Structure 1
């Protein structure tokens, strides 16, 4: 994305399911390769994902999609309580403002809904992004996914109420 005006953010639709899961898988396997080995990446993002599991997960979340022209560029999924569950971009959209634009839209919506604190569990790769958004590490966590161990960070950010 070179022109920020080309980026459009909209709500998730069911027809986004398969491209969104493909984006997630590609993102984990390409953008997280420097921090996680192949075994970890395969446990985190199976090359043969279960779309029914993803459908159920996304139905329980608010999800925003970023499109650059007619191409899916990224997504963010969050809960009404301020939990940021997922934020991923395509490898080609990394470090081009897509994740920041998605995050800013989600934060604005949550702030408007009266949420006073945001929290997430950030990967090693995502931690610097969240720190740039004003999050602080509350704790380091060691988790196991499909029998594989990962390091992640519980992070939080206090929000100011919107100006009225």
Structure 2
């Protein structure tokens, strides 16, 4: 399924936050406990973080017809910060399209490497795209420790 990419605006935040929550709850539940998921979702309450996402990063929306199907963001020209796709749109090439946009922008900015901190759930997808694990991270959130992986792709 081909989606159309558009740049996010502040008014897109409610839909982005809803998609973020649905993706984590419905996709990551095989790799993270209910308590870990709730700790992860506490970030939804960080209004400043979400506003700064739009203000300070390049954020692409993947739209299928007029509906938001996924989004990703590029921070500092070389760091893939967010990558989320609605559960019922996964496996359709949307994440690949979003990551490709971030990679293209990273190259345009003259960078030779892109990095990200990737969930347990997304790690196989990223490895299939050629990304390499650099290290495992332990992220304290609330009373939980969330595991993810620093991954990089040489461009």
Q: Give the number of equivalent residue pairs.
A: 155
Q: Does 1:85 align with 2:81?
A: yes
- Look up the match of 1:10: 6
2:131 matched residue in structure 1: 135
Query: Superposed, which structure 2 residues align to 1:86-105 within 5 Å?
Result: 86-105=82-101
Q: Which residue is 1:20 aligned to?
A: 16
Change (3 A) 1:48 1:74: closer
Shift of residue 52 of structure 1?
A: 4.2
What's the CA shift string for 1:44-63, capped at 9, x where partnerless? Answer: 11496344441123322110
Is this contact kept in 2: 1:25–1:46, CA < 8 A?
Answer: no
* CA RMSD in angstroms, aligned pairs only: 1.6
Alignment of 1:1-164 (within 5 A): 3-4=1-2, 7-46=3-42, 49-159=45-155
User: Would the aligned equivalents of 2:17 and 2:44 in 1 still touch at CA under 8 Å?
Assistant: no
Instruction: Name the one with the larger helix percent.
Output: 2
User: Secondary structure, in 3 states, of the residue corresponding to 2:25?
Assistant: helix
Q: Which moved more, 1:129-138 or 1:41-50?
A: 41-50
Larger radius of gyration: 1
Distance 1:108 1:45 in 2: 30
Specify the SS of the correspondent of 1:122.
strand
Deviations 1:106-164 (A, max 9, x none): 111111111111111111001111112211001112121123111111111111xxxxx
* Change in 2 beyond 3 A, CA 1:47/1:113: closer
Runs of 5+ consecutive residues of structure 2 not aligned to the other structure: none
Structure 1: runs of 5 or more not aligned: 160-164
2:16 & 2:114 partners in 1: Cα distance? 23
Spell out structure 1 runs of 4+ moving beyond 4 A: none
